[in-house]
Structure formats: structure tokens, C-alpha cells
Amino acid sequence: MTSTDVHTDRRLGWALLAAAIAQIAAPVVQALADVSQPGDGSDDLLITPAGWAFSIWSLIYGLALAHAVVTLWKGDGVGSRRFVGDFIALYLGAAVWIAVSAAGISWATFLVLAFMTVVAIDAARLAARARLHDPAWTTWLARATSGVYAGWVSAAVFLNLGTGVIELDLAQPAQHGWQLALLAGAALFALGVNAQLPRSPFYAAAVVWALIGIIASVAGESTLALVIAIVAIVLLVVQTVWQSKRALAD
């Protein structure tokens, strides 16, 4: 990818920065308005990560803001209009997700999060395939921003799917079988996406963080859920190390 499109239209950079700020401001406004926070309604799910795992949003917001500033400063968001456009759509989607979550409609938050997952993964794939720019750290910043975001929403979308299922009375939270299937599905999905990101370990890192949060939550509650999460972590780590070695050899 080249940076030409971003250099010739700085409006993209300003739009990216505005969208990054909007997604950070949205939860602040929600908190000040004293309405329900993202993740409310998920407490009944067995596979909900421990509360501290959601602190990753601070890292996600920080990376998003840093990347937007660097895009304006360097005129390069790792390149193409499509990559920057993915981020703008992702950040605006995050702001909408905050607003929808305030209404407490889980199936609607799932739909918004599903859209966010699609564009975040597309951005992560573009960054992972890009060759290192000069300076190289700008490419790594883009990979980290897109990878961490994509990894977390890839896990979160399955959690939101679970809360939507409960809200629509399609299954009961006390029934763990379907939740275990959801966890296994999330793990397989993550492995499939990670296979497309040979030069970016950040996606796997974010998913592993979510799985560690799930381990902390299910310990003592479900041995099978614990086993699924641990196996998923091992497979993601092995896959990422193997891919990284192959990428370095290329």
C-alpha cells in the first residue's frame, strides 16, 4: 500500500481524527448521562470475561487516537483510502454502539458490533499485508491499532450474540451447552482470522486477553469452558509464533 491517497487528501486525516475523538467521547457522555454501560446485560452469561478484561478499551482508544494523530502528522495511515476509511467507519460504529447499548437492546448492539468486526478485520488484514514504511514504526502502529481492535471486537461480537439470544428468549443463561458452543465458535473464528495476519501478532494478543478474562470468570464454574479457553490460547500462540517465523523468512 502507498500513502499517496492520504497525502493528497488531508481531509481523510481530519475525518479520522474526528471519528477517533467521537468514539472516545461517546462513553464519557454516556457515563455523565448515567445510562447503562456497554456490556450491561451480559452478567448472566457464563462466558463473560472478568470485569478487568474490559480495561483493554483504554488501550484501544489510546492507539486509535495516536494513529489518527500520526496519520495527520505523517500524512500516512499505512496507506490507502480504504484502510483509513475502514477506521473512520469503525470509530463511528463504536460511537453508535455506545448509543445503542444505552437503549439496552442486545440484538441491536450485536448487529452494530458485527459491522465493526467486519471493517476492523479488513483494516487489520490491510495493515498486516503492508510492507514496512519509512519510518517502520508507523506501520507497526497501524498494525497494533487495527489488530488489537479487531481481536477484541471479534471476541466481543460473540458475547453480544449470546446476550441477544437471551434477550430474544431463544435460550436460557442457566443452560451452558449453547454458551460452550459459542465459545468454541469464537475460538475457531479467531484462528481463521489470525491465519490471515502473518505479520501482525496484535490480533491474537487481544483475543488471548479476552480468553484470559473468560478463564478468570469460568474457573470453578465450568471445567469444559476452562479447557476450551486454554486450548484456544495455546493454539493461537502456536499459530502466531509459526506465522511470525515464516514472515521473517520471507
Per-residue pLDDT of the chain (250 residues; tens, 9 = 90+): 444 444 546 788 899 999 999 999 988 887 776 655 554 445 678 999 999 999 999 999 999 999 999 888 876 555 578 899 999 999 999 999 988 887 777 788 899 999 999 999 999 999 998 877 767 888 899 999 999 999 999 999 999 999 888 888 888 887 889 999 999 999 999 999 999 998 899 999 999 999 999 999 999 889 999 999 999 999 999 999 999 888 776 6
Is residue 104 helix, strand or coil? coil
pTM: 0.90
